[in-house]
Amino acid sequence: MEEFPQNVESVDASIERICDEGKRSGNFDALKKARREGSPEAVLRGVVQIIVAEKREDFRFVFFLKKALLKDGFSFVSEDDVRRAGGDAYQKALEGGRPLEAVEVASALYGKQSKEYQHAWQCAKADSGEKTKETLEGEEEDEEEEWTANIPQNSTIFNLFEAIESGDDNLEHTDIFWSEIHDNFNPEVADELFEIQHNEKLGAGTKVVDFFEKHGYSKKDIEIFLPVKFEKVPTKKK
């Protein structure tokens, strides 16, 4: 009679273990690791269902997570799933008075030539009084030149977003930062950075320079392509 190993995890135990690991290392990384290690689809699907349930009010997060999963080849996430999640995120952003978030979602989901993107810009224009779309875009370009997040060289991802969001009541700096990430870095960087941003423990434990170097970008690249400047370390007097 064939004997079966006694230490095989149940589906529920596997799901719980991967969810716990996701809280430490990031949900997306934990899912990719579990898939590499051969976790069955039922387990991976169960993990995603729990993450989505926990983040059900954060429609933007759910959309970008599903978008990343689809891009990475998770077979149980379909283009229809991503479109539905993106549509919800877009609508909720508009209803919640966050037009710049709607612009970001529309750009990723529908493209910058879409009517949804143009509508989100119109809402951003209305939200900013009499400013035209061209004025808003021009201000973004000016801000890219003038505004920078100044951070120490050993800053963590948590420190980085703390500096970006400081005094950024209208999310203009946040929008500029993410626009530059999407324009100048590969999609894996954007997906992983978004995941780390929403994991407090991981964000506090990941150095900015280490994160970008892992993806092949130097500290100089960060300063060239992002509105980020590292504070110079004072030289010690002999």
pTM above 0.85, yes or no: no
Which helix H or strand E contains 230, and what residues bound it?
Answer: strand 228-230
Q: How confident is the model at residue 5 (pLDDT cuts 50, 70, 90)?
A: very low
Beta bridge partners of 212: none
Q: What is the pLDDT of residue 129?
A: 59
How many helices and strands, by DSSP H and E, does the chain display? 14, 2
Residue 151 confidence (pLDDT) above 50: yes
Q: Are 188 and 28 contacting, i.e. CB atoms less than 8 angstroms apart? A: no
Distance CA 91, CA 17 (A): 34
Which helix H or strand E contains 149, and what residues bound it?
Answer: strand 149-151
* Residue with the larger pLDDT of the pair 184 and 128: 184
Q: Are 39 and 11 contacting, i.e. CB atoms less than 8 angstroms apart? A: no
Q: How confident is the model at residue 83 (pLDDT cuts 50, 70, 90)?
A: very high
With b meaning 16 or more CB within 10 Å and e meaning fewer, what string describes 212-233? beeeebeeeebeeebbbebeee
Q: Which amino acid is at 205?
A: G
Residue 190 confidence (pLDDT) above 60: yes
Q: Are 190 and 181 contacting, i.e. CB atoms less than 8 angstroms apart? A: yes
Helix (H, G, I), strand (E, B) or coil at 201: helix
Distance CA 184, CA 198 (A): 21
- Which 8-state DSSP code applies to residue 3? -
Q: What is the pLDDT of residue 131?
A: 47
Residue 236 confidence (pLDDT) above 60: no
Query: Cα 207 to the chain's mean position, in Å?
Result: 16
With b meaning 16 or more CB within 10 Å and e meaning fewer, what string describes 92-107? bbbeeebbbbbbbbbb
